Amino acid sequence: MTEADKVWQKVKLARSTERPTASELIKRLFPDFIELHGDRLFGDDQAIIGGIGSIGNIPVTIIAEEKGTNTEDKIKRNFGMPHPEGYRKALRLMQQAEKFKRPIITVIDTPGAYPGLGAEERGQAQAIALNLKQLMELKTPIIVVVLGEGGSGGALAVGIGDEILMFENAIYSILSPEGFASILFKDSSKAKEAAVLMKMTAPDLLSFGIIDQIIPEGLGLDQEPQIGFHNLEKTIIDQLKKLMKTPIDKLLSNRYLKFRKMGVYEESVRLNENSSS
C-alpha cells in the first residue's frame, strides 16, 4: 500500500457514515448532558450541539459539531456545516462557562463552515474570527477533541484550547483534500495526492505540534467505539485535573504561546478587524 493509499484510508475512516458522531460521544461520556439552545440573535443552529454536563464528577460545558446520523438528521444538522449563529451560540455558552468557572470541552467534526449566501450575509467570517479572538482570552480551561473530520475555519472556530486531542483515524486540515487539489492541481480528482501533501493525519500533526495527544481507537471507532471513548474519557479527566490546578494567568500565557507559534492569534485579530470595518 502506497503512502497516498494509507492517508486516503484515514480520510475515508474519518468521513465514514459508520463512525460515531458527536451526539454519540456526548451520550457515552456525558450521560447527564443538558442541551442549551440559541445564539439570542438569530436562531438555533443544529449543526452545533451545546450544553452542560459532567465527566469524572467535574462540571463542564460541551460544544460539539454534529454531522447527523441518518438522512433526515444530516439535513437537519446541515451535514455538520455550521452557520454563524452556530458559532455565536458556541461563544455564548463558552462565555457562560467562564462566568461559572466551568471547563470547556469542544468536539470538532465538520467538513467546514457553511459557505452559503445566507451564512455570508449574516457574518460567517466575522463570527469565526470573533470566536478565535475570544477563545484565546477565556479564563477557563479548554480541551479540544478532533473526532472525525476537521476542516478549515469551520473547525478552528471551536478549536482554540489548552489541550488538543485527536483520534488516531481523524483528519484535521486547512480545507478538504478535494478543495486543495482543485486549487493546486486544478483537478479535484487528485485529492488522494493532495491529502499526502497536506499532512492532515494525527501522527503528522503531532509531529508539528498542532495537536498534543493522539487517542487510540483500537480497531476503529466504527467497529469498537467503546475502546476509543474509554481512552478519551480517561485522557480528558487527567487533563482537566491538571489544567484546573494551573493558575489562570499561566493558563492564558501557555494558550497564547501555543497558538502564537502557529500564527492563529494574529490572523484572527486581522480577520476580525477587516470584517468589522
Domains of the chain: 3-276 (3.90.226.10)
Q: For the chain, how long is the longest CA-to-CA vector?
A: 51
Q: What is the DSSP string of 90-117?
A: HHHHHHHHHHTT--EEEEEEES-S--SH
Q: What is the pLDDT of residue 260?
A: 83
**Beta strand pairing call for 142-151 and 104-110:** parallel
**CA-CA distance, 64 to 138, in Å (whole number)?**
18
In three-state secondary structure terms, 151 is: strand
Q: What is the pLDDT of residue 228?
A: 95
**CA-CA distance, 274 to 277, in Å (whole number)?**
5
**Beta strand pairing call for 171-173 and 163-167:** unpaired
Q: What is the pLDDT of residue 1?
A: 75
> Which of these, 201, 190, 219, 193, lies nearest to 18 by C-alpha position?
219
List helix spans (H) across the chain.
3-15, 22-29, 71-76, 84-99, 117-121, 124-137, 152-156, 177-184, 191-198, 202-208, 225-244, 248-260, 264-276
Centroid of chain to Cα 206: 16
**Could you tell me which residues come within 8 angstroms of residue 169 by beta carbon, excluding any fewer than 6 positions away?**
10, 13, 14, 202, 217, 220, 221
**CA-CA distance, 132 to 25, in Å (whole number)?**
24
pLDDT per residue, tens digit, the chain (277 aa), is: 788 889 999 999 999 999 999 999 999 999 999 999 999 989 999 999 999 999 999 999 999 999 999 999 999 999 999 999 999 999 999 999 999 999 999 999 999 999 999 999 999 999 999 999 999 999 999 999 999 999 888 999 999 999 999 999 999 998 889 999 999 899 988 999 999 999 999 999 999 999 999 999 988 899 989 999 999 999 999 999 999 999 999 999 999 999 887 655 445 545 565 655 5
197 in Cβ contact with 182 (< 8 Å): no
230 in Cβ contact with 221 (< 8 Å): no
Hey, how many other C-beta atoms are within 10 angstroms of the C-beta on 133? 16
**CA-CA distance, 22 to 145, in Å (whole number)?**
10
Indicate yes or no: pTM above 0.85: yes
**CA-CA distance, 208 to 274, in Å (whole number)?**
29
